[in-house]
Structure 1
Amino acid sequence: MQVLNFYSQIFADQLKRGRKTATIRLGDKSHRYRKNEAVLVTIGYQHSPREKVFDAVIDQVEVKRFKDLSPREIEHDNPEFRRHDELAHFLEQIYGRPIGPDDTVTVVRFSQIVEHPVGVTDRLRGIGGAQN
């Protein structure tokens, strides 16, 4: 199983509360993460114990230029941010180098896998909700 690891404890609460539903990674990571793939979401540093947060499924993987990120994509990565300059500053701290508008980034959207999600079984049976 692939691991989607976060280095900052800042994200632990956001992940657990469902406020962080994406990660923006520097470079083209489309070879590493695939749509519908199950991943283990963890928090911790390399070569150190990591905390399992939850299992998830990759919903979407999109490669684009940093300047083409939407405010919504930025917000899904970090609910505290909306602007490119805020995200660039944060990524520069993680990657240790300047982030430019033409840098390639990968947006990985994910959803937590829960054992018995409220209402999902009924919706799948066509009870009490809209049908596709």
Structure 2
Amino acid sequence: MMALNFQAPKHEKLLMGRKKNCTVRLGDVSKQYPESSLVWVTTGAKFEPKKKLFIAYLDKVQVKSMMELTSEDLDHQNPDINTREDLIADFENIYKKRITMEDTVTVIYFSEVL
């Protein structure tokens, strides 16, 4: 089974509180995460053990530019991120590179399988 991993501790809190049901990933990762797939939702830093949180169903996978992200995408990704500029700043911190409104992202909506 595939995993949808979240490295930041803030994401684990949002996932555990069921306040996050979407992730925005840099680049086109739609082939790695096809719509209607089942994935483990996990947390943990690269090269370290991961914690399994739950199994999720990938409801919707969309490839778009950073500019095309909607307020709904941002809200479901992280309620603390209100603008695309906030997300770009967060991504630049994570990826350690310059991100622009033209960059491609993949938006993945998921729901927990009970």
TM-score band w.r.t. shorter chain: over 0.9
Indicate yes or no: 2:83 matched with 1:83. Answer: yes
Query: Structure 2 CA distance, aligned partners of 1:86 and 1:13?
Result: 19
Indicate yes or no: 2:101 matched with 1:95. Answer: no
Query: Structure 2 CA distance, aligned partners of 1:35 and 1:12?
Result: 23
Which structure features the higher share of strand residues? 2
Once the two structures are overlaid, the 10-residue window that deviates more, 64-73 or 10-19, is: 10-19
Query: Structure 1 CA distance, aligned partners of 2:13 and 2:45?
Result: 17
Q: Name the % identity.
A: 36
Query: Structure 1 CA distance, aligned partners of 2:17 and 2:92?
Result: 26
- Give the residue type in structure 2 aligned to 1:29: V
Unaligned runs of 5+ in 2: none
Q: Which has the larger radius of gyration?
A: 1
Give the corresponding residue for 2:52.
52
SS in 1 for 2:18: coil
Tell me the matched-pair count: 114
TM, length-normalised to structure 2 = 0.96
- Pairwise CA distance, 1:93: 1.0
TM, length-normalised to structure 1 = 0.84
Where relative contact order (Cα < 8 A, 6+ residues apart) is larger, the structure is 2
Query: Structure 2 CA distance, aligned partners of 1:76 and 1:92?
Result: 20
Q: 1:42 touches 1:54 (CA, 8 Å); kept in 2?
A: yes
Query: Structure 1 CA distance, aligned partners of 2:34 and 2:18?
Result: 21
Give the corresponding residue for 1:122.
none
Q: 1:65 touches 1:104 (CA, 8 Å); kept in 2?
A: yes
Runs of 4+ aligned structure 1 residues displaced above 6 Å come to: none
